[in-house]
Structure 1
Amino acid sequence: MPVYRNRNAKATRKGTVMDDGTAFTAHTKPTTARALTPDDVKRHNRAAIIRRLNAEGPATKRDLAQALGLSLPTVTQNLRDLAADGVVRRDGELASTGGRRAGTYAFDPRCRTAIGAELGATALTMVAVDMNGDVTDARSRVMRLRDDAAYAQRAADAIGDFADALRRPVAGVGVAVPATVMDASPAPIMPAALVQALRQRRPANAVRAPIADAEAELWRDRTLTDALCVYLDRRPSGALIVDGRVHPTGGRIEHMTLVPGGRECRCGRRGCMDAYCSLETLPEDYESIPGFFSVLEQGETHHRERMSQWLDSLALAIGNARSVVPGDVIVGGEAAGYLDERDLAALRERVAGNGGADGGFRLRAAARIEHGTTVGAALPFVRAAMADLEGATGEASPNPADPTPPSTMKV
């Protein structure tokens, strides 16, 4: 393996002058790097081949040898080993140019699988996700959500049976738990009990559902760096993307105080964002949420006023959050199915008009992703598995000691 040096550093008789002009002087004997063993070289070459195939697509042995600077026998042996492990597969042959057709090899995204599970009010939904983030299998089981150990064990058994039936290596299990459950007071017992039961057989983790939603959004849109994800359901929630990663605890805007001493919230306090931005605040008495939007489309004056007040409250909450962590805004949840481009444009105008909020940001509806929450719960294990296959170092494990995902980010 080549050794890379800082070309801008200048050697002096007393030490080394670094890029920024500071001097580094060694007062001790330089340590000798550990010599690479044959196993080290093999792991390096193996990871290099996987990275190349995953990034660039199918390639022949000769293509890989030329691109990676490896000998043809070395590439051949590594491809043979990787194929035996199910990591690469033959992908066809190139057109003949007069001699023997050259076979192409491709990375097999099904070499590892991550499991995602979503705890719904009346059903447990499970998906298997490959290394491309695509769903390969799905199953749903009727199971009424409860915060007790019995439910945790039943859910763990169902998820374990689903994973066993795949007959593929499982990198881990991510479980999306409703924010109302994870944030309950006193602290719920079910999420920790479920994770503990799952970890008897394989790595597992539990996250708030909006965190999983944001993971799926980020996987779909790799251009996101900083963004506030607002999920407008009957129980609003949020998540935060910082420096291209989903923050494990940020974005909990649902109990931000919008109106001191205002409407009573479910949490027992007054004036929370939930009390003003829940979809349930829009309909009049005995009116459904779909019914409200149906009448709104007809231009009924009172419904338009209620909608305008709702957008004002939502814009205030978003503006407050962006004054602390500026970024794009993604609006998801049940409301995303009702809000059209005019509504989103009106919301953005209100947010931009709030004091302290810069105008250079995007505001858009969340992507429509099938099984988005469930897939998002699995994605941290997909990233960790790919980092392991590609030989990356320093990747945070998605399997911490407690049921919340790890992060070194500070907000």
Structure 2
Amino acid sequence: MTRNEEALDIKHTNYRNIYRLFFQYNGLSKPQIVKLLNLSLPTVSNNIGELEAEGKIREGGFFQPQGGRPAIAYQLVENAFISIGVEIQKKNVRCLALNLQGNILAQKDTALYFENEPQYIESLCNIIHTFIRSLGCLYTQILGIGFSIQGIVSKDGQSMLYSRVLPGEHFDVKELQPYFDVPVKLFHDVKCAALTELWFSEQIDNAVYISISEHLGGAIIINNQIDLGKKGYSGALEHLQIHSEGNLCYCGQRGCLETYCSLSALLSPNETIEAFFKALRNKDELVLMRWDAFLEHLAKGLNTVYLLLERDIILGGEIAFYLIPEDLKILQEKILKLSTFPLEGDFIRIATQQKYTSAIGAALPFLIEYLP
């Protein structure tokens, strides 16, 4: 490395370290930054001027003086850049915008029935453009657009590897990118939900995230990262076969966990999840029997998962909002009866994040990549 390159590297490091502080503190003065980073005042002043000129920080009043002139308090411009998450569902499209602190700026659901046709892509992109215009921001402020889809996605986020729920040979980054001047990526919806849980929780290190909504899905968390496996299939617990001659799954196999432990399997036709859990809490006898059978099957699948991975299990998805501690107690007891080894303590918990998780998780990767 030449002397000029070394100087540029030091300058870049100082810039990033100073910018990083504003994500950790609500307000900072130049003297405080000097003390925190052990830098000279001219170095701090130059970087503060640069960050302010770029619209990344702003003056936010003054600190109370302790003799002498009050110091200017500088603050992060949280909305300087925005990340967009788009959740693709069978009948709807959910658009969501996050600022640099991961806070939701706006969210909108729009009815759009999924079709494996180029016309669907055009309608979808028009919805997204309308949503972005409603934010009142410039396209130069957008870090990227992430699409959460009900399908396995390649590790680079460029293509769909597998989906029987939303088959889409036309749904690919190469089909989407021409409509946008910002980066576009695809993400598996359950891995998006797991990433959201990981982002907002301080308790996770290693865990298995299970999403129970219309369909079942899983994601494996290793060392605070979503594990994608060799190609992207990691965590597809929905196709764990628990009965060799069981129910027919949309994948073509029989006895998959999906066919016993998704909401599609739990709920009767035209029954809502709200109605089911209301009847359950009111001790409806038939509903109690259905719930017990559901938990029996879930315990069988989770026992295999815990036997292989021995990690805490996080239950997320639409069902998480309706679960209570008593449900987890019953489920754990059923797993204990099946377990080969003695299990101690609670090892299942309800996800802390229960709203817009897939859309948030689709926006987060661009935010994470940007953060200094």
The Cα shift of 1:200 comes to: 5.0
Residues 286 and 66 (structure 1 numbering): CA distance in 2 closer, same or farther, change over 3 Å?
closer
Q: Check the 8 A contact 2:193/2:357 in 1, yes or no.
A: yes
The Cα shift of 1:117 comes to: 0.7
Q: C-alpha distance in 1, partners of 2:181/2:16? A: 27
- What residue number does 1:375 align with? 360
Counterpart among 337, 342, 365 of residue 350 in structure 2? 365
What amino acid is aligned across from residue 305 of structure 1 in structure 2?
M
**Which of 65-74 and 205-214 deviates more?**
65-74
Residue identity over aligned pairs, in percent, reads 25
SS in 2 for 1:228: strand
Counterpart among 256, 279, 290 of residue 263 in structure 2? 279
- What residue number does 2:17 align with? 48
Q: Check the 8 A contact 1:151/1:190 in 2, yes or no.
A: no
Q: C-alpha distance in 2, partners of 1:47/1:163? A: 28
What amino acid is aligned across from residue 205 of structure 1 in structure 2?
K
SS in 2 for 1:320: helix
Task: Tell me if 1:173 matches 2:145.
Answer: yes
SS in 1 for 2:171: helix
In the superposition, the TM-score normalised over structure 1's length comes to: 0.79
Counterpart among 327, 331, 340 of residue 343 in structure 1? 327
**Which of 212-221 and 282-291 deviates more?**
282-291
Q: C-alpha distance in 2, partners of 1:186/1:372? A: 19
The Cα shift of 1:156 comes to: 2.5
SS in 2 for 1:259: coil
Residues 200 and 278 (structure 1 numbering): CA distance in 2 closer, same or farther, change over 3 Å?
closer
- What residue number does 2:157 align with? none
Q: How does 1:44-123 map to 2 (within 5 A)?
A: 44-123=13-92
**Which of 207-216 and 66-75 deviates more?**
66-75
Q: Check the 8 A contact 1:282/1:292 in 2, yes or no.
A: no
Deviations 1:130-170 (A, max 9, x none): 12111113333332222222212322233245446422521
What amino acid is aligned across from residue 172 of structure 1 in structure 2?
G
- What residue number does 2:252 align with? 268
The Cα shift of 1:219 comes to: 0.7
Q: C-alpha distance in 2, partners of 1:368/1:186? A: 25
The Cα shift of 1:37 comes to: 4.2
- What residue number does 1:320 align with? 304
Residues 171 and 356 (structure 1 numbering): CA distance in 2 closer, same or farther, change over 3 Å?
farther
Q: How does 1:148-187 map to 2 (within 5 A)?
A: 148-163=117-132, 165-167=136-138, 169-179=141-151, 182-184=162-164
**Which of 120-129 and 214-223 deviates more?**
120-129
Q: Check the 8 A contact 2:173/2:185 in 1, yes or no.
A: no
**Which of 336-345 and 172-181 deviates more?**
172-181
Paired residues, what number? 355
Residues 280 and 157 (structure 1 numbering): CA distance in 2 closer, same or farther, change over 3 Å?
closer
Q: C-alpha distance in 2, partners of 1:338/1:136? A: 26
- What residue number does 2:210 align with? 230
SS in 1 for 2:83: strand
Q: Check the 8 A contact 2:208/2:218 in 1, yes or no.
A: yes
The Cα shift of 1:262 comes to: 1.5
Q: C-alpha distance in 2, partners of 1:289/1:102? A: 55
Residues 153 and 325 (structure 1 numbering): CA distance in 2 closer, same or farther, change over 3 Å?
farther
The Cα shift of 1:216 comes to: 0.8
SS in 2 for 1:104: strand
- What residue number does 1:9 align with? none
- What residue number does 2:114 align with? 145
- Unmatched 5+ residue regions in structure 1? 1-32, 391-411
Q: C-alpha distance in 2, partners of 1:264/1:302? A: 24
- What residue number does 1:8 align with? none
Q: C-alpha distance in 1, partners of 2:269/2:88? A: 30
Residues 47 and 289 (structure 1 numbering): CA distance in 2 closer, same or farther, change over 3 Å?
closer
Q: C-alpha distance in 2, partners of 1:310/1:293? A: 13
SS in 1 for 2:94: strand
Deviations 1:350-385 (A, max 9, x none): 234432464355311122444222111010110001
The Cα shift of 1:76 comes to: 1.0
For the pair shown, the structure with the greater C-alpha radius of gyration is 1
Q: Check the 8 A contact 2:150/2:165 in 1, yes or no.
A: no
Task: Tell me if 1:295 matches 2:253.
Answer: no
The Cα shift of 1:266 comes to: 2.8
The Cα shift of 1:120 comes to: 2.4
Q: C-alpha distance in 2, partners of 1:37/1:282? A: 62
SS in 2 for 1:191: coil
Residues 194 and 125 (structure 1 numbering): CA distance in 2 closer, same or farther, change over 3 Å?
farther
Residues 267 and 350 (structure 1 numbering): CA distance in 2 closer, same or farther, change over 3 Å?
same
